[in-house]
Structure 1
Amino acid sequence: MIVTRFAPSPTGRLHLGHAFSAMRAHDFARDRGGRFLLRIEDIDPGRTREAFVDGIGEDLRWLGLSWDGPVLRQSARLGLYADALAGLKARGLVYPCFCTRRDIAASTSAPHGPEGAIYPGTCRALAPDIAATRIAAGEPHAWRLDMAAAAALAGTLRWEDHGCAITAAPERFGDVVLARKDAPASYHLAVVIDDAAQGVTDIVRGADLFDATHVHRLLQALLGLPTPRYHHHPLLTGPDGRRLAKRDGAPPLADLRAAGADPAEILGNLRARGFPEGLTHPT
Structure 2
Amino acid sequence: MTTAMHSAVQPSRRGVLGAAATGALAVGLGGAGGPAAASPYRDDRVDQGARGDGLPVGGSPRRTVAILLYDGFTALDAVGPYEMLCRLPDVRVVTVAHRPGPVRTDTGQLALTAERALADVRRADVLLVPGGGNRGTIATMEDRAVLNWIRLLHRRTTWTTSVCTGSLILGSAGLLKGLPATTYWASRPYLAKLGAVWTPGRFVETGRIITAAGVSAGLDMGLHLVARLCDDVTARATQLAVEYDPHPPFDSGSPEKADETTRRLALELIDDAAVPAA
Please indicate, yes or no, whether the TM-score normalized by the shorter chain is above 0.5. no
Q: Which has the higher contact order (CA 8 A, sep 6+)?
A: 1
- Scaled by the length of structure 1, what TM-score is found? 0.25
